[in-house]
Every structure is written in C-alpha cells, then in structure tokens.
C-alpha cells in the first residue's frame, strides 16, 4: 500500500536522471564541436559518456518505480465513504482507529468465511435480535483491512453503510455511488433495484469484497445481491431474518473475558483483577458499554484521578442506581438501555452544562451520517457562541470519552454510534424540532436573502452537507412553507441535480405533501437516467423541462418556473415527446438480456417470467431477478 506522500521521490529520481543524461549528451556534443573526433579530449568524452549512461539508468529506475506505484499502489482516503482507485482496483473502507481490540476467534472465522471458494454472502449478526453495540462494524473493518483479504480480492474492497432509515432514492444513491467506484459512467438511478442491477453489472468478472454495514430490512439487502458472479458480500445486521437463507452466518455477541479485560485496561495502569472482573460482570462484557466505562475512567485519570478509585466510582454508580446489581443481562433490552444511559451520564457529569447542551444537540443529525466539522462549528457558534477552536477541542474530548464513534481532525468530521444516537434522540424528544430549526438558522448567514427568504439555491457547491440534508432539517423543524418555496425554486431543483443527483432530488420532493412536488418526484424517478449533469453548463435545465409532460396539470407551474432558468439557445418541445414514460410506469426491470420476446405474469401479480433470444426464462419475484434457466429451442 502506498500513499500520495510516498509518490514524490520516484519523480525526483526521474528528474535527476534526465538532468544527468542531458548534461552528458551536452558534454559529448561540445567536445565533438570543438575538437572533432581527435584524441585531444578523450577524457572529456569518456566523462560525458559516463554521465549520459548514468543519467539514463537513474531515470529508468525512477520511471520503473513510478510505474509500479501507479499500477499496483493503493491509496486509502480518510473519508470512510469515499475511495481513490489506483489503477482499476477501488479500495473504499473506513480507516482503522488504532485502538481496536482484536477478537481473534471471530476474526479468524470471518476471514475464512469470506475467503472460502464457495462464499457468496457472509452475514454477521447477533444472537439478540435488534441489539447493537457488539462490535460488528469494528470486526468488519478489521476483515476489510486484513492483508490476506486485500490480497485475495484483486477486484477491490468497498464499503457501504446503509442504516435503518435508508430506503427508496436514498438507498439507490448509495448503491449508485458504489457502482461508480468501478465505472464512472453508471447512470443516475432512483430505484434501488435498478441501481443494484447496475452495481451487479459493473462487478461481473471482478473478484470483489463488498461490505454492507448496518442493514435493517430485506429491501435493503436485495439490491446488493444482483449480479457480480465473483463477488462476496459481507453483511452486518441486527436482524437475522433479513439475510438470505443460504448465508454463512457468524454470530457476534459478548466479548470473551480476556478481550473485555484488554479493552478495559487499555491506556490505564494495572488494575486489580478482582475489580476488573466485577466491572466486566456488571457490564455484561458488552463492548459498547465497556468502551463508555473505559472512556469515563480514562478522562478522569487524565485530569489527575486514580484509576482504581475512578473505576470503583463507576461500578458503584451502576450498582447503586438500580441499573444492575451483580451482572448485566444483555438479553434484556431495557437493562441494556438503562446501563448505557447511566454510563453516558457519568461521562457527561465531567462536562460543563454548556458542553452537555452541545453534546445533546448532536441528536439533530441522521443515522450513520458523517458530520462535517464545519457544520458542527457553524451549529455550535449559533447555539453556544463557540469558536472553531473550542469545537475541535470538544470533539476530541467526546472521542476520548467514547461518547462518539469516531472523530478525525483532517478533514474534521465526526460520527455517532447508533446506540449513543438512540440515547440522544430519547433525551431530546420534546425539542427535536427546535434542533432542526437551530441547524437551519446557524447556516442562514452563508447565503443572501431574496424576497424575505434565505436564498438556499445560491449555496456554494462545496456545502455538501446542506445540499444533501437541508430539506430534511426544514421538514423536521416544521418549516413547511420554506420547504415548499425551496422545492419551487428552479435554482434549488437544478442545483440538487447537479450536486447530489436525481435520487437526492426525489427524496426532497417526497418530503412535501404538495401534489405538484409529488408528481415531479415521479418525473424524476422515471427519467433519472437522463438527468445527470451535462455539457455545456445550463443544458440540464432544458433536458429536465423536456421530461415534464406539458399538459400535466400538477407539474405545469413548476415546468414554467424551470423554463425561466434556461439560458441561451435550446431545443423546446412543442408536442408531448413520444419517449416520455407512461404515467402508470412504476419500475423498470433492468437485465443484461437480449430482446425479450415473451412475458407471463402470475395472476396475483406477485411474480413474472420473461423469455428472450438467448434461450433463457428468467423469473422475477417482487421485481427481483431470482434466477434463470436455459430452455431448448423448438
């Protein structure tokens, strides 16, 4: 593995080699011009030849090293959801934090499972349905970074975090982004199954590991199972029944005693084994709870506390507050919730009231969302008057207390564990709308005001978070009039297509109850494949307008508004274009098939079969291609 920092020296070697080569050649030419071919300057000629040969060799070595890096090197970027492809092998996995506790038996079983010649789908789940915090994501990250895994999957290793709320166009957007790691020409699609078909197409013939993290439903799993004849899918989920029947399942439950001791003792002085074992019992060897306990004690020790006394304090608090007496029953969801809440509160007790308020405000962010540092800084400057420096120092402290799943400085970003997010959402239930209003208010100053409203359509394209999530915050804050005005703004509609894509725009439109926005969402879904950014700039507006039926009453108003955004010469439709999708169209079934010549639909509409020139009959169940069989030609 190489990084961009390691690529400069081959270039320098090439430059030095070429310089020596040119110096040698120049010396030879100069000797020949001044003295001809006589023996007078034989020594100078030899020196020129040596310089030329040496320069050629040095340049060749540098070029060879540079070429080797370009062909075989892999750059893993810091942002978890992004990848840099070196050559044709995408690697897109979250970086390791460096403090992970290795669980050797589980890790061995998982690595063996994904490397098995017969592996298709490997599922990682818990024996407790719906329980989180057992370390599935950490184990999946360790598998993805395992050298033998990276060496085996020559087609790449990619990571997708799904989350409980991901569905419809949002899920399609995740799948499309993954497919574009392999083929940047993949069209924009807003249907998850259509996007999954494209992902399967680009993965065919590639020995690839796809990690699908935090899956909650079969509808989230199915799009990832299409195509990809050499792909292994590693799925993490709390819900065992969402996995395919043929899956190789690995249960991830409580840590072993030795693993739990290792986690609790990390960075601390030697603790009495009796006290440690008592804490392990009270915490049920539950990884997320042990991390919270360890973070609380570590913070206290950093402030001058005694590790034994601080650990005893946490233990006493858990026992005397009625959370647990001797051992936590991890099968009891209510007990798990009380234990997490009490331990988080012990960590929060070390914060000032203003710091506790800032932490609770993190409830405003969506599940599994990577929170940019500049968005946090803007929010906390608005709600607490904090500086950028205060924000960064506090983020580091939250990471030290294990109150957030991850925090990185470069680029600055944070991510919440869903167990902590559930706690925050519960604590802020009564004021969640005010939090959404706060994040909107915090960013009003970065855009001008037009006609008494914030001109959100004038956001710079680098404000990725707001382009993605602003409508959700307007909706969550009850700012429905502003949301409606935003979705009527042709600048926002086109900007959303340019900066996020059709899936994001469809999701925005579906937040509104306005029939015009609902109808426009259907237009976007049916025409997503032609609504990608176009050259020259401005062409997208004309294309978008051409896909809106001219005589469709609900969308006529928005169609006219979009007309105003078209600049310069353009082609305009006079009559309804003949290739517009039929209003009844709900889904396009994508398949790398030949012509379809026969179609049979089950009377109840639950499945259909298609037949084509390739002699195969394909069965579609719930619009998912379940399989095909070759039939003899008659």
pLDDT, tens digit, 9 for 90 and up, residues 19-42: 766 666 666 666 665 555 555 455
> Does 172 sit behind a cis peptide bond, omega within 30 degrees of 0 on the bond before it?
no
For the ranges 292-301, 421-430, 533-542, 619-628, the one whose mean pLDDT is highest: 421-430
pLDDT, tens digit, 9 for 90 and up, residues 254-269: 888 898 888 888 877 6
Query: What is the reported pLDDT for 511?
Result: 94
Fold of 443-585: 1.25.40
User: Is 84-251 assigned to CATH 3.40.50.300?
Assistant: yes
- SS in 3 state form for 538-580? CHHHHHHHHCCCCCCHHHHHHHHHHHCCCCCCCCCCCCCCCCC
If 0-12 CB within 10 Å is exposed, 13-18 middle and 19+ buried, where does residue 309 land? exposed
And the tokens for 9? 């020296």
For the ranges 13-17, 357-361, 410-414, 570-574, the one whose mean pLDDT is highest: 357-361
Task: Report CA-CA distances (Å) from 466 to 83, 439, 460, 500, 553.
Answer: 22, 10, 10, 10, 31
Q: Choose between 537 and 193: higher pLDDT.
A: 193
Query: What is the reported pLDDT for 573?
Result: 74
Query: How many percent of the chain have pLDDT more than 90?
Result: 30
Is the whole-model pTM more than 0.85? Answer: no
Query: What is the reported pLDDT for 111?
Result: 93
Closest residue by Cα to residue 344 from 269, 421, 261, 410: 421
pLDDT, tens digit, 9 for 90 and up, residues 136-192: 888 999 999 999 999 999 999 999 999 888 888 889 989 999 999 999 888 888 888
Long-range contacts of 337-343 (CB under 8 A, 24+ apart): 337/422, 339/283, 339/284, 339/286, 339/289, 340/133, 340/288, 340/289, 340/292, 340/419, 340/420, 340/423, 341/423, 342/317, 342/318, 343/289, 343/292, 343/293, 343/296, 343/314, 343/318
Strands 412-415 and 406-409: antiparallel
Q: Is the pLDDT of residue 357 over 90?
A: yes
And the tokens for 300? 């206290």
For the chain, domain boundaries: 4-72, 84-251, 257-350, 443-585, 596-630
pLDDT, tens digit, 9 for 90 and up, residues 300-349: 888 888 888 988 988 888 877 655 545 665 566 677 777 778 888 888 88
Would you give the distance in Å from CA 274 to the centre of its chain? 42
Q: Which H/E stretch holds residue 528?
A: none
Sheet holding 89-92, edge to edge: 84-86, 89-92, 156-161, 208-215, 232-237, 121-125, 248-251
Contact 44, 27 (CB under 8 A): yes
Mean pLDDT, rounded, of the chain: 80
Strands 84-86 and 453-454: unpaired
Q: Is the pLDDT of residue 591 over 80?
A: no
CA triple 383-510-221, angle to 5 deg: 95
Would you give the distance in Å from CA 122 to the centre of its chain? 20
Contact 597, 613 (CB under 8 A): yes
């Amino acid at each position: 593995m190489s990084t961009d920092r390691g690529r400069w020296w081959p270039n320098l070697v090439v430059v030095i080699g070429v310089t020596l080569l040119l110096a040698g050649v120049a010396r030879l030419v100069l000797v020949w011009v001044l003295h001809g071919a006589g023996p007078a300057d034989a020594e100078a000629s030899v020196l020129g030849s040596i310089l030329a040969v040496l320069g050629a060799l040095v340049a060749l070595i540098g070029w060879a090293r540079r070429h080797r890096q370009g062909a075989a090197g892999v750059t893993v970027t810091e942002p978890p959801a992004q990848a840099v492809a070196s050559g044709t092998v995408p690697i897109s996995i979250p970086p390791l934090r460096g403090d992970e506790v290795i669980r050797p038996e589980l890790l061995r079983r998982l690595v063996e499972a994904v490397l098995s010649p017969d592996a298709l789908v490997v599922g990682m789940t818990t024996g407790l349905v719906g329980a989180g915090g057992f370390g599935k994501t950490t184990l999946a990250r360790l598998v993805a970074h395992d050298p033998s895994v990276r060496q085996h999957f020559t087609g790449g290793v990619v990571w997708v975090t799904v989350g409980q709320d991901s569905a419809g166009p949002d899920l399609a957007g995740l799948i499309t982004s993954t497919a574009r790691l392999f083929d940047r020409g993949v069209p924009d699609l807003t249907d998850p199954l259509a996007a999954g078909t494209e992902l399967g197409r680009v993965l065919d013939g590639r020995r690839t590991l796809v990690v699908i993290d935090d899956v909650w439903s079969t509808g989230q799993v199915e799009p990832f199972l299409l195509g990809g004849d050499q792909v292994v899918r590693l799925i993490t989920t709390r819900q065992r029944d969402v996995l395919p029947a043929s899956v190789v399942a690995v249960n991830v439950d409580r840590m072993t005693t030795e693993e739990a001791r290792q986690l609790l003792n990390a960075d601390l002085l030697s603790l009495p084994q009796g006290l440690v074992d008592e804490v392990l019992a009270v915490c049920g060897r539950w990884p997320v709870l042990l991390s919270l306990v360890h973070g609380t004690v570590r913070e206290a020790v950093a402030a001058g506390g005694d590790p034994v006394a601080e650990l005893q304090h946490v233990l006493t608090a858990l026992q005397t507050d009625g959370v647990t007496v001797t051992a936590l029953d991890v099968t009891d969801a209510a007990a798990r919730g009380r234990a997490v809440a009490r331990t988080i509160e012990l960590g929060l007790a070390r914060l000032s009231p203003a710091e506790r308020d800032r932490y609770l405000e993190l409830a405003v962010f969506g599940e599994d969302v990577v929170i940019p540092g500049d968005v946090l800084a803007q929010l906390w400057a608005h709600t607490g008057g904090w500086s950028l420096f205060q924000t960064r120092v506090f983020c580091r402290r939250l990471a030290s207390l294990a109150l957030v799943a991850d925090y990185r400085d470069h680029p600055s970003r944070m991510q919440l564990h869903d167990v902590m997010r559930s706690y925050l959402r519960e604590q802020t239930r009564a004021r969640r709308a005010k939090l959404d209003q706060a994040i909107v208010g915090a960013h009003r100053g970065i855009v001008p005001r037009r006609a008494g409203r914030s001109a959100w359509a004038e956001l710079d394209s680098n404000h990725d978070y707001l382009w993605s999530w602003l409508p959700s915050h307007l909706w969550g804050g009850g700012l429905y009039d502003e949301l409606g005005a935003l979705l009527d703004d042709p600048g926002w509609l086109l900007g959303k297509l340019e900066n996020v894509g059709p899936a994001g725009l469809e999701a925005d439109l579906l937040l509104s109850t306005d029939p015009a926005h609902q109808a426009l969402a259907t237009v976007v879904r049916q025409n997503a494949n032609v609504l990608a950014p176009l050259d020259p700039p401005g062409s997208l507006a004309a294309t978008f307008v051409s896909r809106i039926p001219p005589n469709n009453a609900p969308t006529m108003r928005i169609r006219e508004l979009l007309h105003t955004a078209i600049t310069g010469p353009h082609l305009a439709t006079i009559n309804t274009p003949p290739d517009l999708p039929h209003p009844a169209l709900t889904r396009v079934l994508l398949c790398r098939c030949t012509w379809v010549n026969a179609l049979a639909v089950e009377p109840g509409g639950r499945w259909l079969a298609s037949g084509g020139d390739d002699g195969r009959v394909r069965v579609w169940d719930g619009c998912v291609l379940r399989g095909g069989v070759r039939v003899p030609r008659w």
